Every structure is written in C-alpha cells, then in structure tokens.
Amino acid sequence: MPDLIRLYIRQCLTGMALGIVFSVALVVLNVGNIGHLVGEVEGGWLGFALLCLFNGIVFAGVQFGLTIMRMGNTENEN
C-alpha cells in the first residue's frame, strides 16, 4: 500500500477516535442536557450514533488536514 494512503487511513482513524471520545464526553458531562436526551428519549441511541459519526468525520478531516499542512518544507526559511 502506498505511504500516502497508509497516512490517510491512519490519520482518519485517529480523528474518528478523537471524535468519538469527544461525543462520549459530551454525553457523560451532560452538556446542553444531551446526556438526558440520549438516555431517556426513545431513539436517543440513534442521535448518539449520528453525533459520533458526524463529530468523527469532522475530527478526521481536521486531523488529516493538519498532518498534510505540517508536511511542508523542512528547510529553515530565514
């Protein structure tokens, strides 16, 4: 597998994991009463799954973008 594809997959998985951790933290800390909604409302699990998915997509994109931007020139530009 090419190095760039391997880098993309690794960074997207890292970002997805960070997004899921962030979503779990939102629910556990009950930010905006979202913990109550997930736990008490019918279909709350679906909302939580979508929250994890969408936060994971955002975090994965940001993680990959930051990695690519840091790959720039390594020369000293003085």
Average pLDDT of the chain, as a whole number:
90
Residue spans of the domains in the chain: they are 3-69
pLDDT band for 72, please (50, 70, 90 cuts): confident
Contact criterion met (CB below 8 Å) for 62 and 69: no
DSSP characters over 41-60: STTHHHHHHHHHHHHHHHHH
The angle subtended at Cα 56 by Cα 53 and Cα 37, nearest 5°, is: 50
Residues 41-67 pLDDT 10s? 999 999 999 999 999 999 999 999 999
CA dihedral 33, 45, 42, 38 (to 10 degrees): -10
Q: What is the pLDDT of residue 71?
A: 84
Cα 61 to Cα 12: distance, rounded to the nearest angstrom = 7
